[in-house]
Amino acid sequence: MDSVSRDKLKKRSIKRLFNSFKYALEGIKYAFMYEQNIIVHTIVAFLVIVFGIIFKISYFEWLVCFMLFGLVIATELINTSIEAIVDLICPKKDPLAKIAKDTASGAVLVFAFVAAISGLIIFIPKILSLF
């Protein structure tokens, strides 16, 4: 192994591990400060938690809800990173940049739509049982 490839190897350390968490939290903080959709997803997640408690949803239903919360918010974070990369690489309007940003945004919309349908499947029977 030559000296260049050895220098490029990432060394493992506790400091590097803690820094990776710090940088991840900075990314999440950025998204909450500048991306309005992540706030909407978080409010919806909070409301689902409240209604889940009220309607006493099952363990499996909680599992589904939390998996969907995580997937929607993670997809929103990935969308934010894709938008930032596209803006960095292509500061001028470009049809391919638009496609990249729009399809990344579309991925979030698909996950949010699936989460909403799943929520309806979980909660509608519980709401209807009140009548």
CATH number, domain containing residue 107: 1.10.287.3610
Determine, yes or no, domain membership for 37. Answer: yes
| Cα–Cα nearest to 120, from 128, 131, 130, 108 | 128
Exactly one of 35, 61, 76, 83 is catalytic; which is it? 76
Determine, yes or no, domain membership for 58. Answer: yes
For residue 95, the enclosing domain spans 13-128
Determine, yes or no, domain membership for 6. Answer: no
Does 76 qualify as catalytic in the annotation? yes
Global confidence as pTM:
0.85
Query: Worst-scoring range by mean pLDDT, 7-16, 35-44, 52-61, 84-93?
Result: 7-16
Determine, yes or no, domain membership for 102. Answer: yes
Determine, yes or no, domain membership for 5. Answer: no
Report pLDDT for 6: 56
Average pLDDT over residues 18-31: 96
Q: How many domains does the chain have?
A: 1
